[in-house]
């Protein structure tokens, strides 16, 4: 595992964006695994800048997002589908239909999960998978406990996560959907490369648990230590306890 610690949060985003850009340039038809959340916003901004400068071409890229809230259509500003349009897809030349996000309003959610897994397989599997980490230790929305061989499925969000994500829902955890679709830990571990990014003091305790604690299904992020090609990028604040 390669761990990079930067002085400031701002400095953590550049190497992350560079790794993604490298993946896009290095493969004829790259398949990215993408994440949402506050941490990723600056990373997508840096990628859009490279695209605007004419140095990054997304036309051959396919992507699969980790997760989506159940019940929120892509038109809902709090949906992850909307987030991806706002922060990345609408700004780059990735053809419509190549950026996949699970459909949280599918009539048959189980069938949607199976379809998503099949779509990832049909695309040739995930190359670089971008990950954040939640307060519960989740990657994607793999709340504790999540089996390390779990696949894309419907999950109930932990109360801690609903509170963590309530900022977009008028600071009211009750308004955060109770369920989500998420790639499983097993799905994530099959990616060729993992890149986890965490910044800020609020992540210090869970980053320490993920990197130093026992590898176990109660902390999904500990599973990344079972993968042989992992890069973790932290700022000083997020690395404080782990160090």
Which tokens is 94 given? 């990735």
Closest to ligand F6R by CB, 30 vs 140, is 140
Which one among 33, 102, 140, 177 touches ligand F6R, defined by CB under 6 A? 140
Residue 170: other Cβ atoms inside 10 A = 9
User: In the bound complex, what is the minimum distance in angstroms from residue 137's beta carbon to ligand F6R?
Assistant: 10
Specify the DSSP class assigned to residue 94. Answer: P
Measured from each CB, the residue nearest to ligand F6R is: 132
Task: List residues bridging with 64 in a β-sheet.
Answer: 33, 100
Q: Quick check: 67 binds ligand F6R (CB under 6 A)?
A: yes
172-231 positions binding ligand F6R, by CB under 6 A: none
Q: What are the b/e assignments for 138-165, b being 16+ CB within 10 Å?
A: bbbbbbeebebebbbbbbebbebbbbbb
Listing DSSP states for 53-67 in one string gives: TT----TT-EEEESE
What mask of x and - would describe binding to ligand F6R in positions 79 to 118, judged by CB under 6 A? ----------------------------------------
Closest to ligand F6R by CB, 127 vs 132, is 132
Helix (H) or strand (E) holding 41: helix 38-52
Which tokens is 18 given? 């560079």
Closest to ligand F6R by CB, 61 vs 142, is 142
User: In the bound complex, what is the minimum distance in angstroms from residue 19's beta carbon to ligand F6R?
Assistant: 16
User: In the bound complex, what is the minimum distance in angstroms from residue 218's beta carbon to ligand F6R?
Assistant: 16
Residues that bind ligand F6R (CB under 6 A): 35-39, 66-67, 132-134, 138-140
């Amino acid at each position: 595992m390669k761990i990079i610690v930067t002085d400031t949060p701002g400095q953590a985003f550049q190497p992350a964006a560079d790794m993604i850009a490298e993946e896009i340039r290095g493969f004829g038809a790259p398949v990215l695994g993408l994440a949402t959340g506050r941490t990723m916003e600056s990373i997508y901004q840096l990628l859009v800048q490279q695209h605007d400068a004419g140095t990054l071409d997304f036309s051959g890229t396919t992507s699969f997002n980790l997760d989506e809230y159940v019940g929120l259509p892509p038109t809902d500003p709090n949906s992850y589908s909307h987030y991806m349009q706002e922060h990345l897809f609408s700004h780059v030349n990735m053809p419509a239909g190549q950026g996949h996000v699970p459909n949280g309003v599918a009539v048959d959610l189980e069938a949607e999960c199976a379809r998503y897994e099949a779509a990832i397989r049909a695309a040739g599997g995930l190359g670089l998978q971008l990950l954040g980490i939640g307060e519960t230790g989740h990657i994607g929305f793999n709340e504790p406990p999540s089996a390390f061989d779990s696949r894309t499925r419907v999950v109930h969000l932990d109360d801690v996560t609903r509170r963590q994500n309530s900022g977009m829902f008028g600071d009211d955890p009750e308004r955060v959907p109770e369920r989500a679709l998420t790639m499983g830990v097993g799905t994530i571990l099959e990616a060729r490369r993992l890149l986890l990014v965490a910044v800020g003091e609020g992540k210090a305790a869970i980053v320490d648990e993920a990197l130093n604690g026992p590898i176990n299904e109660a902390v999904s992020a500990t599973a990344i230590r079972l993968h042989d090609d992992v890069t973790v990028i932290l700022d000083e604040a997020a690395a404080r306890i782990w160090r």
